[in-house]
Structure 1
Amino acid sequence: MIEPNHPEITIIQQCELLGISRSGYYYTPCPADKATLDLMNIIDKQ
């Protein structure tokens, strides 16, 4: 969707056109650790 090396449209402009924030573009989720996943599974079973 966003072309980081676009020759004419900056990343800022592309984000604005798509209606997303730049932080949303650069965000990389952290993987959940095993303890968190185990807790989520216990909650799901209840």
Structure 2
Amino acid sequence: MSKRPRRNHSPAFKAKVALAAVKGEKTLAELAQQFDVHPNQITQWKAQLLDGAADVFGAEKAGAATPPVDVRTL
């Protein structure tokens, strides 16, 4: 029996699969068959997406903060 070589999925693919899982229109088994990924992997990606969802809205405020400008040097 030959093993399948290890696959590296792009972040865009992971997001696409996780979003499909969050939508809930198909079962995990259907998604696994459609995307050729194990159902446990889909569950992990879905959990990562839901855990990181708050960072999407919080990152904007953290990234917008600029260091104070020293007016004397200008």
TM-score, reference length from structure 1: 0.41
Question: Which structure has the larger Rg?
Answer: 2
More helix by proportion, 1 or 2?
2
